Structure 1
Amino acid sequence: MTVRRRLAMVSDQRSRIDAIGRRSIGLALAVVAACALASSAVAQNAPAKPGDIVVTGRTENSGKQIDKEARKITAPMSDLYGESLARFASPVCPAAVGVPPDFARTLINRLRQDAELAGVEVAKPGCKPNIAVIFVENGQEEIRAIRNKQTALFAGLSRGDIGRLANDPGPVHAWTRTERKGVDGQPLEFGPLDDAPALSVSASSSSLIMLSTRLDVDSAVVVIDLPAASGMTTNQLADYAAMRALARTDPKGVSGKVGTILALFDAPAGKQPAEMTTFDLGYLRALYKPLAGQPAYMTLGGLTDAVRSVSTVTASADKH
């Protein structure tokens, strides 16, 4: 059975967002609704099966092109050598709100499958959501309306981060809540407050291959404008959300030279990626495969091999 044919069960459910009717809710209320989904849409989903998902084709890009694209789509970092890429350490539990239950269930199932195929642990149905995919009419207006209010929606974000979200016209706004921990996953302990706090970490010391700290993602939010999503399939939207929620990526870095689902909202009509690509899956696998605390430059450096591995599996499956 080919990799593409293994998606048959999910592909049959390619309902389009313009066929379900637009039903937008306020952004702040949407997050509350996302938590409530633990006993509705999420709870009704069957466990994800990686075999039911597909990635698009095999890559013909050079290692240099893959490496360059990976760095361009990775959210800006201050130090590739002294920091690790942020990722979920706890099982992920996606929820979708702002769309009818059937559409939400299909999207959630697909996102769960994306995560498992990438090597990310997925929580059991009935879990408390830590990934919220929210559909609204205008995300920028919603964010601007509540940016100065005390809301858990922006917990962990700086005023600058919130300002950048409010100034972004969209049509997608995505952010994560992160926490820096010791490489062993234990909370950091800070010394007495002097002129500068002294950091004390009960973990292995930094080295060229392992840092003393890691950056864990506690939760992720992806807000999608309904008008921009018109005509897109649940597969496209779930795969896009996976690349924005499971990794801190920036679609503005997409060059067009390497196929990626991150081009979904910028590609011309008719040329939008149909689903996650080998590059996308390779990126996520490279992010989640290493031990916690690996420097970002090493994680990105392993991307070419991860993409090649995905391409090899795809090519092999296509022969059967």
Structure 2
Amino acid sequence: MTALALAALLAVAPMQTPPPAPQDAPPQAATPAGDPVDLGEVEVTGQPLDAMIRDFVNEVAEPNRRRGLARWDDRICIGVANLRAEAAQYIIDRVSTVADDLGVIPGEPGCTPNVIIIASDDPTGLARELVEERRRAFRLGGAGMDRGGDALGAFVETDRPVRWWQVSMPTDSETGRPAIRLPGECMGECRMPEDAAPVVNVFSASRLSTQIVDYIFRTVVILDIDQVGGVSGQQLADYVAMVTLAQIDPEADTSGYASILNVFDDPGAAAGLTDWDHAYLQGLYNAERNRKNLRAGRTEIADSIHRAHDELRAGEEEAAE
């Protein structure tokens, strides 16, 4: 797939993208899902599990400015370019499987990609070309939809093995409509200022809660083929799944946790997504996210992650009996 074709995909407006049709979950990759983490060791370190979860959330989570943590709503379509067919399909299947486990519906073959994964031997040049030619695909101009111009510059110039950029939408959870004004979009004929404003019907919001939540609707991931060769196919696919399905801080220091996010610093750190990673994703996707206070919203997600940890441990104990 050429850079021009990729730019055409990026030009698709979020509100014009048809939802991909549901399908059965893609087959689970044959490789084991990763070495389980013995959560019992958490007690030995002297740091309570609650504190470790809060620290992990604060370290890895990177929401857009003044917004809560975003996640995908109910559909995802993955496109992979510049890899051999079997390698590309493996990544598509694996990321789709992780998404399906979280309740996000994978798209059928031929759907319009909203996750674009590109391998390149010149990732910085490719990122610069895409941003220069289709800048609005990376920054649509709506408040709270991306991490800002400085972060976009870092996306272009970083030398990391994997770089990613996400665009999200503040959304009215009651209606499913955008809760912000998008440049160039109007309700009606755009003759009056109010035609350009979003329509939000307030049903249950209060001083403590909100019905406005954030949903990811586009992710671009660029792989540096000269740097990703030191990890296995599953490690790479699971790393991509983690940074695609959640808003992960590229500068996060996760060395104190058993996480796939450490794999490029230590390829032996994890064979795939760990229990920490699964619990983080499950906690994010199970949380209601209805707290108006952003700090309280993180606490809600941390509590949800703790419940996911408890469920994972209970499942391990049941399997051991």
For the pair 1:279 / 2:269, whether they are aligned, the reply is no
Query: Map of 1:70-81 to 2, 5 A cutoff?
Result: 70-76=57-63, 78-79=65-66
- Residue 187 (structure 1) aligns with: 178
Between the aligned partners of 2:110 and 2:50, the Cα distance in structure 1 is: 41
- Residue 111 (structure 2) aligns with: 127
Between the aligned partners of 1:93 and 1:240, the Cα distance in structure 2 is: 17
For the pair 1:288 / 2:275, whether they are aligned, the reply is no
- Residue 162 (structure 1) aligns with: 152
Between the aligned partners of 1:250 and 1:108, the Cα distance in structure 2 is: 23
Shift of 1:34: 9.3
Determine helix, strand or coil for the equivalent of 2:227. Answer: helix
Q: Tell me if structure 1 keeps the 8 A contact 2:213–2:289.
A: yes
In structure 2, give the amino acid aligned to 1:243.
M
Distance 1:143 1:123, change over 3 A: closer
Shift of 1:127: 2.5
- Residue 138 (structure 1) aligns with: 122
For the pair 1:66 / 2:63, whether they are aligned, the reply is no
In structure 2, which of residues 81, 94, 103 is the aligned counterpart of residue 110 of structure 1? 94
Query: Map of 1:206-285 to 2, 5 A cutoff?
Result: 206-207=205-206, 210-267=209-266, 270-285=267-282
- Residue 19 (structure 1) aligns with: none
In structure 2, which of residues 306, 311, 318 is the aligned counterpart of residue 316 of structure 1? 318
Q: Tell me if structure 1 keeps the 8 A contact 2:7–2:134.
A: no
Between the aligned partners of 2:318 and 2:281, the Cα distance in structure 1 is: 21
Between the aligned partners of 1:262 and 1:274, the Cα distance in structure 2 is: 11
- Taking structure 1 as the reference length, the TM-score comes to 0.75
Alignment RMSD (CA, Å): 3.3
Superimposed CA distance per residue, residues 71-126 of structure 1 (whole angstroms, 9 cap, x where no aligned partner): 100015555xxx43111113112222110111111121111111122333333444
Q: Tell me if structure 1 keeps the 8 A contact 2:286–2:304.
A: no
Superimposed CA distance per residue, residues 238-292 of structure 1 (whole angstroms, 9 cap, x where no aligned partner): 111111011001242233121111112222xx52421000111111111111336
- Taking structure 2 as the reference length, the TM-score comes to 0.75
Distance 1:149 1:273, change over 3 A: same
Distance 1:153 1:173, change over 3 A: farther
Query: Number of matched residues?
Result: 281
Between the aligned partners of 2:259 and 2:149, the Cα distance in structure 1 is: 31
- Residue 297 (structure 1) aligns with: 299
Instruction: Identify which of structures 1 and 2 has the higher relative contact order when contacts are C-alpha pairs closer than 8 Å and 6+ apart.
Output: 1
Determine helix, strand or coil for the equivalent of 1:147. Answer: helix
